Amino acid sequence: MAPRNYQRGKAGKSKASRVSGKGRNRIAKANSGRRGPISTIPATKKIIHIGLDFGTGYSSACYLVLDEGEDITKINPTRIKPIQNYPENQQADLQGGRVNEVPTEILFVYLREGNRVVPKVFWGYEVQNELKKVKNSTSLWSQAEVEKGIIRNFKLLLDNTEHTKDFRDNIERQLREVFKDTSQQPQAIEHFLTAWIEHCLAELEKTQAQTGYTKGDKVYFDIAVPPVWEHRALQKMHDAFARALYNIDSPNVQQREDGFSSQVHGLFFASEPEAHAFSILEDENNVGFVRDRDRMLLLDVGSGTVDAIVFVVQNAQGKMKLQQETITGEGRLCGSAYVNNHFRELCRQRLQHAKFYGNAVQASLVHLVIEAELMSQFESYTKRTVKFTMDDDRPPDTTLESLVAASLRENKKHNFGPSKMFFTLNEFQDIHRHTCEGTWELAETMLRKTANKNGKPTVTTKKLVLAGGAGRSTVIKAFIEGELAKKVASHNWPSIPVLVPSISDSPGVAASRGAILAFLNWEKAPARKMQCSYGLKISEEFDGSKQTHVDARDTEKVEECELTGKEYVENLICWIYKKGQEITTETREYTMHMERIIHCDIDPEEYKKQWCWNEEIFVSYTTQEDSYPVDHAENENSECIATMNLDLSLLEETLVPIEGNAGRRYYAVEFWVVFEVNGWNLSYKAIDSDGNPLAGVPEGWFSIAASFKPGEE
């Protein structure tokens, strides 16, 4: 048989030829849910950046509108504005829309339409609003349906680490109970992202008079993600984001007739701590916050995780640059969501034997009182304003707060008033303990990593900075200050101030604003390295000096071309970029020499199909060696993620048929494919021997945003 494409030259060179072998149709079908055709990149007059902080408990978004060609190094950060006006937000009604965060929650219920039962999805503040409707008997759904359908903490589904396993197991079990169609189970994140992005774009359209934004303008999405996320988590986030963009018909995503979309143009992942750092240091309220060469430990206290990274600030008074220490960043699952969960459980235990006015059913009312009233008050106000410390010397039973619990009967023994619950110092300390202690343990670990030979933090660790939604907690700040004071007194540590910087518009938008700033400041980020390998499925002319070729002959993977008489090894993978490879000006481009055999004397329809070149791109999460078959153990961690499509039919008129074996004619089509890392996409173009683009063959791309550590270029 004739190989469809084959490689000439030596693998591993900057210029090599690549081929694909037979078996393509079988593999394409097996991976049809993971790949899509590479599409062309649109051009527009305005460039929009939407920064997203997809949080475990709350999420926020900001936007920046740029003129095409505008110098991004001279952008005033005050031009970055928060997305507001989230639907059903009662706080927004009171504050004129000036609420910059939305709960990361969804509610799945089912609605009967004639003979059909269709799913209905609520998101953000709509979830709490529906709970209130249930309590007021104005909801279309029963209390049981609503309680069963509320999904929280689903961001953790993206993390495969062991310390989130219990959370993930609980969420997945709940999704199995909620979804009647099991194929819908993985789409919890997609549903939230779809509604959220649609709202962001709708809010942008309202700014047309001020910004000139129109619906067709190019949009970049800059997403803040945990620094501990590896490639698989980033890829999951990319794929969920791609499906969400497809749902709203976004031009940022390539689309297929079968409804699947796998690649996003204009996607950037920023490290959450780095996003916070840029947001802090670029804020005009924090002028003089740091000095040149200051080393700061930044703790990003989020809803789910607390992340820590040590930064050194370079040229603070000029073109500020962040240099991440060689010390590896770390994270702990001890964020403010634990405070919420402990408060929720405390309320549940205390209300077990409560009595309510009227004919309300005890068991059914408790959950509604907790979710629709107590949690709402606690999350939006009490948690942020209550005054106490973990070493408070007041009596443990001192009452700190009272919260409204409608219809609750007074019971002094259980510390209930008429429609009120009273909470003590001891209770508030207990619900904050895990978060405070976990945050300090992480801070201490990072400070010890910067220690000198005497085991003390080096004096150049000038500041400990608290960021994130819970970073402004006076309880956490006081606890860390107290623990540091103990180290100063007992271990002679240097004094390290704990600082909570100012953030324009509200601390809740620090990461989403910072994600945009991280993009604008990508030149100040460290050099980036590939977290995974990318390769192309090929065929190679048999070479007896290659052990992989000899092994392939033993497994009957070598076939003779009936036209040329040459032998080819089929279905190999050659890796274009490899895990750990640093992407520089010299290594960002990779050129491959291709030859394709076109059989002339066959059925006209089959002849025509030969001119269409469809090649599969593979990704692997490990460093890979070239020239092993797709199904070899060396490639067991690889999977097909995209397809390159080239129509070479216009070359036919420039070629002369060659007479092969038994007088059978064929064309030998020769060309080159140039791969290039452009930002967060891997683009390709086909060229001739003179370097000119092949006529009729457009450039294409696929997203590799998940291939780099968050925050790298």
- What is the Cα–Cα distance from 39 to 676, expressed in whole angstroms? 15
Residue of 126, 124, 125, 146 whose CA lies nearest to 134 = 146
Residue of 578, 574, 652, 570 whose CA lies nearest to 608 = 652
Tens of pLDDT along 194-235? 999 999 999 999 988 888 888 878 888 999 988 777 777 888
Whether 327 contacts 449, CB under 8 Å: yes
pLDDT at 189 over 60: yes
Return the pLDDT at 9. 32
Between 264 and 400, the higher pLDDT residue: 400
Using alpha carbons, list the distances in angstroms from residue 650 to 39, 354, 697.
Answer: 20, 80, 9
Q: Helix (H) and strand (E) counts for the chain?
A: 18, 31
pLDDT at 176 over 70: yes
Mean pLDDT for 258-272 is 70
Whether 3 contacts 19, CB under 8 Å: yes
Q: Where are the beta strands (DSSP E) in 130-242?
A: 150-152, 218-225
Question: Reduced to 3 states, what is the DSSP secondary structure of residue 485?
Answer: helix
- What is the Cα–Cα distance from 221 to 244, expressed in whole angstroms? 13
Return the pLDDT at 98. 59
Using alpha carbons, list the distances in angstroms from residue 351 to 136, 417, 466.
Answer: 20, 13, 35
- For strands 533-541 and 612-620, give the pairing: antiparallel
Using alpha carbons, list the distances in angstroms from residue 668 to 4, 134, 564, 672, 686.
Answer: 10, 71, 10, 13, 16
Tens of pLDDT along 338-371? 999 999 999 999 998 888 887 555 667 788 889 8
Average pLDDT, the chain: 81
pLDDT at 136 over 90: no
116, burial (CB in 10 Å: exposed 0-12, middle 13-18, buried 19+): exposed
Enter the tokens of residue 392: 């408070």
Residue of 442, 39, 430, 51 whose CA lies nearest to 225 = 51
pLDDT at 256 over 70: no
167, burial (CB in 10 Å: exposed 0-12, middle 13-18, buried 19+): buried
Judged by average pLDDT, the poorest of 4-18, 170-184, 218-232, 545-559 is: 4-18
Residue of 694, 647, 659 whose CA lies nearest to 674 = 694
Tens of pLDDT along 150-168? 999 899 888 877 777 888 8
Return the pLDDT at 52. 97
Return the pLDDT at 42. 44
pLDDT at 537 over 50: yes
Tens of pLDDT along 87-132? 998 765 444 445 789 999 999 998 877 788 788 899 999 998 998 8
How is residue 435 annotated by DSSP?
H
Return the pLDDT at 435. 96
Give the end-to-end CA distance of the chain in Å, rounded to a whole number: 45
Return the pLDDT at 348. 94
Taken in order 379, 384, 385, 387, the sign of the CA dihedral is positive
Return the pLDDT at 41. 42
3-state helix, strand, coil in the chain (%, to 5): 35, 30, 35
Residue type, 457: P
The neighbour count for residue 188, using CB atoms within 10 Å, is 24
pLDDT at 523 over 70: no
pLDDT at 187 over 60: yes
- Residue 361 sits at the vertex; the CA angle it makes with 356 and 363, to the nearest 5 degrees, is 95
The b/e string for 244-262 (b: 16+ C-beta within 10 A; e otherwise) is bbbbeebbbbbbeeeebbb
> Residue 653 contacts by C-beta under 8 Å, 6 or more apart in sequence?
none
The b/e string for 496-524 (b: 16+ C-beta within 10 A; e otherwise) is bebbbbebbbbbbbbbbbbbbbbbbbbeb
Q: How much is the pTM?
A: 0.75
Return the pLDDT at 11. 33
Between 415 and 687, the higher pLDDT residue: 415
Return the pLDDT at 436. 97
The runs of H, that is alpha helices, within 521-630 are: 547-554, 604-610
Question: Reduced to 3 states, what is the DSSP secondary structure of residue 506?
Answer: coil
Most confident of 207-211, 271-275, 510-514: 510-514
pLDDT at 184 over 90: no
pLDDT confidence tier of residue 183, bands split at 50, 70 and 90: low
pLDDT at 261 over 50: no
DSSP 258-291: TS----BSSEEEEEHHHHHHHHHHT-GGGTTSS-
Residue of 391, 574, 460, 394 whose CA lies nearest to 8 = 574
Judged by average pLDDT, the poorest of 137-146, 248-257, 533-542 is: 248-257
Return the pLDDT at 636. 86
- For strands 558-560 and 567-577, give the pairing: antiparallel
Whole-number percent of the chain with pLDDT over 90: 27
Return the pLDDT at 292. 64
Tens of pLDDT along 418-451? 999 999 999 999 999 999 999 999 999 988 887 7
Judged by average pLDDT, the poorest of 37-41, 253-257, 312-316, 329-333 is: 37-41
Tens of pLDDT along 600-627? 988 989 999 999 888 888 888 886 788 8
Say what the alpha-carbon torsion angle 108, 109, 112, 116 is, to the nearest 10 degrees.
Answer: 40
Residue of 382, 398, 277 whose CA lies nearest to 339 = 382
The b/e string for 393-409 (b: 16+ C-beta within 10 A; e otherwise) is eeeeeeebbebebebbe
Whether 223 contacts 252, CB under 8 Å: no
HSE toward the beta carbon, residue 279, CA cutoff 13 A: 37
Judged by average pLDDT, the poorest of 40-49, 409-418, 458-467, 610-619 is: 40-49
Distant-in-sequence contacts of 132-140, Cβ < 8 A, 24+ apart: 132/372, 134/368, 134/372, 135/368, 135/372, 140/111
- What is the Cα–Cα distance from 595 to 669, expressed in whole angstroms? 5
Enter the tokens of residue 684: 């390709």
pLDDT confidence tier of residue 257, bands split at 50, 70 and 90: very low
Whether 682 contacts 706, CB under 8 Å: no
The runs of H, that is alpha helices, within 400-449 are: 425-449
- What is the Cα–Cα distance from 392 to 385, expressed in whole angstroms? 16
Return the pLDDT at 314. 63
- Domains of the chain by residue range: 6-41+528-707, 289-335+433-505, 337-420
289-335+433-505 is classed in which CATH architecture? Answer: 2-Layer Sandwich (3.30)
